Amino acid sequence: MKNIFLAIMFVLLISGCASISIPGDEACNTDFLECIEEPKFVELPTYKKLRQLPPAEAMPVVAVYKFDDLTGQRLSSDGSASFSTAVTQGAKDLLIDSLKAAGAKDDPKGTWFRVVERGMGLDNLVRERQIVRSTREQYATETDPAQQVQPMLFAGMILEGGIVGYDSNIETGGNGARYLGLGTTNQFRRDSVVVSLRAVSTLTGEVILNVQTYKTILSTGQAGDVFKFLDMDTKLLELESGMTQNESVTWAVRSAIEAAVLALIQQGDERGYWKIVYPEGWDQQELKPGETATWMKVDVPDNEFEAEKKLWEKIFLKNNSNGENNED
């Protein structure tokens, strides 16, 4: 009877090697194509708060040149060198996405920041504008002269910073039990990532706003095993099963960046560099999820270049007036 039991267990193990069961998706046992997940749009809690922000009285124009990984950390490996970084190298793109998402619940374009292209994409933009200018001049006639290319917007504020910290194993622990060859274990680990964001005035070069945010990264693991001698200790039965869950480091960095943008907006409002237009009855201490009110927005003049110039003169020239902040 024991030999039959062992034969059955052996067959089950062999079949399990041919088709690994993925928890939560029974279709993966029969069709591999069913295991391929479709792309998903992920809204983190910080992203939802950004979208629900009330609009700004006037949308500042900002530029992001660099927002890099400053930690120098590499992925941990067992006994071998690793050239892969521990955190994402696309933090600049995550920051730009967060800036455009601020106040985007009622307006898909956002109601807080107007982000201009800088960095590596600026060369392509300038080259394309030259093509537009030369094409207009080539096909210009006396009755239809070439139209001038609209000047590019300048940024009144440069956002800088980066991922300044990544610490692994700041907290580890677990528990387990074993009895008569049957055992189970549970383990966890916490890492952390720190993001720094600052705003620099392009007119004075002064750092006017600076914030730092902190996000933990949780990893958990559960495992169970059987180690049993059968048939008068002549045969050995050994089974193992386990699963680990690791919070995405990229999502953690994204959440920290979104929290930094939220903190930057709040700090700028407190210091008088911009003004949040709160709707009537809005609770300024808490952003209520599900808010559906239509907030009043300030119209932007047709001449955007002159409008931005006046806006940033209003905001930054007051820094030179004996350090006093004038109230609007």
pLDDT digits (tens, 9 = 90+) for 43-100: 788 888 888 888 888 888 999 998 888 888 777 765 565 677 888 888 899 999 999 8
DSSP H or E run through 154: none
Does 133 fall in a domain? no
pLDDT at 164: 92
Same domain, 24 and 58: no
Same domain, 25 and 57: no
Does 132 fall in a domain? no
Q: Which residue has the higher pLDDT, 265 or 325?
A: 265
Token look-up 């750092």 returns 207
Does 183 fall in a domain? yes
Q: Are strands 207-230 and 235-246 parallel, antiparallel or unpaired?
A: antiparallel
Reported as a single tens digit per residue, the pLDDT across 279-293 is: 765 555 443 433 332
Does 141 fall in a domain? no
Q: What is the pTM of this model?
A: 0.71
Which structural domain range is residue 19 located in? 1-40
Q: What is the Cα gyration radius of the chain?
A: 29
The two tokens of residue 41 are: 């749009």
Backbone angles phi, psi at 201, to 5 degrees: -75, 130
| CA–CA separation, 276 and 52 (whole Å) | 12
Which range in 79-83, 230-234, 273-277 is most confidently predicted, on average pLDDT? 273-277
Same domain, 242 and 297: yes
Q: Helices 249-271 & 91-101, crossing angle to 10 degrees?
A: 50
CATH number at residue 316: 3.40.50.10610
pLDDT interval class at 270 (50, 70, 90): confident
Same domain, 1 and 98: no
Does 193 fall in a domain? yes
Quote the DSSP letter at residue 56: B
Could you count the other beta carbons within 10 Å of the beta carbon of residue 157?
Answer: 22
Does 82 fall in a domain? yes
Same domain, 184 and 89: yes
The identity of residue 100, as a single letter, is: K
Same domain, 35 and 159: no
pLDDT interval class at 139 (50, 70, 90): confident
Count of the separate structural domains present in the chain: 2
Does 144 fall in a domain? no
Same domain, 227 and 265: yes
